[in-house]
Amino acid sequence: MVDASIEPPHTYWKRRAEVAELAAGVESPAVDIAYTDVENGVWTQVADALGPLWEQHASAEVLAARDRLALPTDRVPQLREVSESLLPLTGFEFRAVPGLVPSVEFFGGLGRGLFSSTQYVRWEGSPLYTPEPDVIHEVFGHANALACPELADLHRLAGQAMQRVEGERQRQALADVFWFTAEFGVVRERGSVRAYGAGLLSSVGELAWFAEHADIRRIDVREMATTGYDIDEYQPVLFAADSLDQVLGEVGGFFESATDESI
């Protein structure tokens, strides 16, 4: 774990604010960012660290999706490039937002095949860890996952469910199930547990940690909707399915039929 008390310098926050100001929002295509050599270097360092971990710990479907998407590993890809590669595969596009957006806005975009993504790169003083999503998490994690048809359908169904449901508790239940699948989902495959969730796929530390340390439970929508978690810590509890088809059948089915009354 990284010492959270170590803060990036003022120059980092200034650069991050500059990038955030260029975010075109979910309704417009993202504008290109002139990434610096330092930012491209951070991307490359993370890509080099994640590469062998993916081969060992990522699900076969996600590995195949990564190969189809074929994003660069030696520089930060523009969100425009991500969209151009992703759209013909699963119908998703990436749109630039300045930072975290309200869950209703985020899920509303998912329901229409639009993924709200930051464009800034984490601080070079801590390249293998970030306390909140950056373009590395969004693209390494979610873009590669969204190139997988089953996971693209899961994201879309979650977004549509959030648009139908109005109760605060019901929306939180949807978000919690999404957390334990799209962000931290795992499957049993080839005699081991492998990751498909974007939070795991984009974390050098947690991807190497979860298989031997997390409490791996069978996928269960009710339990996922009622299990607490801390977003700032490695996840001690994960839920494993036997395949992504099972994830889409059980969790996707829950999203597809979800109403305030059913939840």
Q: Catalytic annotation on 183?
A: yes
Q: Catalytic annotation on 57?
A: no
Measured CA to CA, the distance from residue 190 to residue 204 in angstroms comes to: 22
Q: Which of 142, 155, 189, 206 is catalytic?
A: 142
Measured CA to CA, the distance from residue 181 to residue 224 in angstroms comes to: 9
Number of other residues whose CB lies within 10 A of the CB of residue 1: 10
**In the 8-state DSSP scheme, what is residue 115?**
E
Q: Which of 116, 202, 203, 206 is catalytic?
A: 202
Q: Which of 183, 189, 203, 206 is catalytic?
A: 183
**In the 8-state DSSP scheme, what is residue 98?**
S
Q: Which position has the token pair 């979860």?
A: 210
Identity of residue 53: L
Q: Which of 93, 137, 203, 206 is catalytic?
A: 137
Q: Is 65 helix (H, G, I), strand (E, B) or coil?
A: helix
Q: Catalytic annotation on 257?
A: no
Q: Are 103 and 171 in contact (CB under 8 A)?
A: yes
Q: Catalytic annotation on 223?
A: no
Measured CA to CA, the distance from residue 96 to residue 32 in angstroms comes to: 10
Nearest in space to 196 (alpha carbons), one of 108, 51, 49, 65: 65
Measured CA to CA, the distance from residue 70 to residue 65 in angstroms comes to: 8
Residue 191 Rama label (left phi>0; alpha psi -120 to 50; beta): left
What are the DSSP calls for 138-186, one per residue?
IIIIIIHHHTSHHHHHHHHHHHHHHHH---HHHHHHHHHHHIIIIIT-E
Active site residues per annotation:
137, 142, 183, 202
